[in-house]
Amino acid sequence: MNNVVEIPVWLLVLGGILAAIGILDRLLMPSVRWYLRRRLNRVIDSLNDRLQLSIQPFKLTRRKTMIDRLIHDPKVMEAIAEHTIAENMPPEVAAKMAERYAREIVPSFSASTYFGFAIRVSRLLSKAMYRVRIGFIDDQALRSVDPNATVIFVMNHRSNMDYVLVTYLVAERSALSYAVGEWARVWPLQQLIRAMGGYFIRRKSRNQLYRKVLARYVQLATDGGVTQAIFPEGGLSRDGLLREPKLGLLSYILGDFDAETSRNVVFVPVGLNYDRVLEDRVLTAPTEDGKRKFRFQPGTFIRFMVRQTWLRLTGKFYRNGYACVSFGRPVSLTEYMATHEPAEMPEVIENLGAELMDRIGHVVPVLPVSLVSTVLLRADRPISMLELKSRCHQTWQLLSARGIYSHIPHEDEDYAVEVGLRMLTLRHMVTEEGGKFALAPEHAHVVKFYANAIAHHFESDQLAISTT
């Protein structure tokens, strides 16, 4: 009993460390966690005091808790049972698949990351790259939205800068949760997006178990009051035109909605436009198979940022023109559903998607590059500066009569035309010869990309711009 036992010093040190960790975990860590949680609650309360749309408790739920809640949801459990039978696999395997999908989808929102880092970075990038402007906005209609309603911003998708720009412009109203495609699932972008409250979706997945897990997360988040931002088009516009709405997320939202008992959902249409889309050449480049895919490439992004930094240091940097965002009249889902029978749900979803896209299209702002591109494309010959300005003036009058917002810098139409033309000539898309301007044939498809951004404003009158 009194024999001496010898042990290596390293083992004694390791045992001491483990004992200290155990003591800390049992005695000190609960107090530390309580202290940190108390400070976090104070920060959230402070943010909610200044935000128009409060950060809901659902958004602050611990990720592990949310994953457990999702995979044990009765509807998900039912889907697991159906998948087990359909695929003839053990229930444990199907349950593991559902858990893997849940971990892939559920975000890990961090208020400090969102408001302390993401908002500042989005503001810095937006202002560094563009002259940011807010176009049309019915501020009274937005302020009258029920603070207890779930607000969903629905917008056209022009560029991956959309995420950055809207995050910055909506910072004073709420924290947005985005549905992000698989392209962003790369380190460290994936971790940052999750911390900002974004969730990843497989847009082309046909796996019914995955779709049920995704649907239940969207429904729980919507019922929990999480402010979201979605792109009904599903992906970036390849030709600049507004695309038909993809109804997946919309069907999930409406699938669990009851006009009498559910929390109201308010859709806010958002229209975006840019004088220059950073990915324009990638999006419009022809491919052999007819399919174009955009993938986030860290190397390309780093080279781009290095080049922009070098241009700034050498005094050769010019911002990429104007970026403008307009907010349309909100759509209350409770009021909308009051006029539709539940038996007509597929048609209701399709009609609502079409109406939202119409409202988005109506508030897409007209910017100098889009307008100048439209006029030059519809001219069948090189035109002088005077004729270009005359046609642009005619078009502005037409658009104004239709209630379409146009951003005219300094309220000077001549200056606006010069700004748009300069952007195109600097990129060698428009050439000048003998005082007349014409499109460079090799870049005509890119110019058309910019003209298409506002093409829907002329659908009712294809001859709106004179070609004589």
Same domain? For 122 and 187 the reply is yes
Q: Is residue 5 in some structural domain?
A: no
Alpha-carbon distance values, 215 to 102, 209, 250, 265 (Å): 11, 10, 10, 16
Same domain, 268 and 395: no
Tens digits of residue pLDDT in 265-323: 999 999 999 999 988 988 988 765 555 555 555 666 677 667 767 766 776 666 789 99
Question: Of 332, 361, 390, which residue constitutes the final position of a domain?
Answer: 361
What pLDDT is attached to residue 199?
A: 85
Q: Give the model's confidence band at 409: pLDDT under 50 very low, under 70 low, under 90 confident, else very high.
A: very high
Question: Is 345 inside a domain boundary?
Answer: yes
Residues 302, 180 share a domain:
yes
Domain boundary among 329, 361, 393: 361
Tokens representing residue 309 in the block: 């930094």
Average pLDDT score over residue span 358-369: 96
390 and 431 belong to one structural domain: yes
Label residues 323-362 b or e (16+ Cβ within 10 Å = b). Answer: bbbbbbebbebbebbeeeeeeeeeebbeebbeebbebbbb
Cα dihedral: 152, 155, 159, 160 (round 10): 10
Strand 150-155 to strand 228-230: parallel, antiparallel, or no bridges (unpaired)? parallel
Q: Running DSSP on this structure, what letter comes out for residue 420?
A: H
Lowest mean pLDDT among 91-100, 131-140, 141-150, 312-321: 312-321
Q: Give the per-residue pLDDT at 468.
A: 34
344 and 375: one domain?
Answer: no
Counts for the chain of helices (H) and strands (E), in that order: 21, 11
C-alpha closest to that of 232 among 109, 139, 356, 132: 356
Task: Read off the CATH number of the domain in which 268 is found.
Answer: 3.40.1130.10
3-state secondary structure 375-417: HHHHCCCCEEHHHHHHHHHHHHHHHHHCCCCECCHHHCHHHHH
Give me the domain span that covers residue 418: 368-458
- Asked if the structure places residue 91 within a domain, the reply is no
Asked if residue 390 and residue 357 are part of one domain, the reply reads no
Question: How many folded domains does the chain comprise?
Answer: 2
Residues belonging to the chain: 468
pTM metric for this prediction: 0.85
Answer for the pair 180, 201: CB distance below 8 angstroms, yes or no: yes
Residue 461 structure tokens: 């009158």
Does 377 reside within a domain? yes
Does 66 fall in a domain? no
pLDDT in tens, 208-248: 999 999 999 999 999 999 999 999 998 888 899 999 999 88
* Residue after which a domain boundary falls, among 333, 361, 389: 361
Query: What stretch of H or E contains 325?
Result: strand 322-327
Same domain (yes/no): 388, 263 = no
pLDDT for position 316: 62
Mean pLDDT lowest among 136-140, 221-225, 371-375, 439-443:
136-140
pLDDT value of position 173: 76
**Domain shared by 314 and 412, yes or no:** no
